[in-house]
Amino acid sequence: MAIRYVIVSLVLAISVSSAAQGNCTKIDSSSRPDCPQALTFFSRIQDALRNNDRNTLSSLVHYPLRATLNHKTVLIHNRKDFLRHFDEIFDAEVRCAVLNASAKDVWGNWQGFTVAGGALWFEGIIPQGEKPDIDAPDFWTKYPLKIKTVNNDAYYPCASP
């Protein structure tokens, strides 16, 4: 039983350390082909947050956006609601975590891209009704990246940037 615990602990430690490092600047077999676009998009998010540019951030969101208000998961359906709840969605912890992250922290998988321990997720958004061709040469670059989730009901230990 003790050896099983040690093995499980090692596997978890390796998973956490590799996930924390990201897979877009250090390309490996798990890296997505659209990592360059993800890095550029993440930089745009950081610039908008750093400048408190709410309008730009609202344009980088896919609606409905999944977030948490009053400890309940909600869908923010439009730009007006996003701007009304902006300070709750991008609370101090999320802002700090995102602003202190770097390109080395961008990590992608089948669910999209994330940073800062899952503080936010973004993905290429396929228009409703479109049937994507995953074998097309432009599949990984055709669809615009948008923020789809902000996990603002979690604790992100962070020192202010």
Q: What is the pLDDT of residues 22-78, one digit of tens each?
A: 888 887 778 888 889 999 999 999 999 999 999 999 999 999 999 998 889 999 999
Per DSSP, the chain holds a count of helices (H) and strands (E) of 7, 6
Residue 159 lies in a domain: no
pTM of the predicted structure, to 2 decimals: 0.81
How high is the mean pLDDT of the chain?
A: 84
Residue 111 lies in a domain: yes
Residue 158 lies in a domain: no
C-beta neighbour count of 83 within 10 angstroms? 15
Residue 83 lies in a domain: yes
Beta strand 145-150 pairing with 61-69: parallel
How many domains does one find in the chain?
Answer: 1
Bridge partners, 11 (sequence order): none
Residue 108 lies in a domain: yes
When pLDDT is averaged across residues 14-28 and rounded to a whole number, the result is 62
Residue 157 lies in a domain: no
When pLDDT is averaged across residues 121-140 and rounded to a whole number, the result is 89
Quote the domain boundaries for residue 81. 2-150
Residue 155 lies in a domain: no
Tokens found for residue 157? 């230990």
35 phi and psi angles, rounded to 5 deg: -55, -45
CA distance 116 to 79: 24
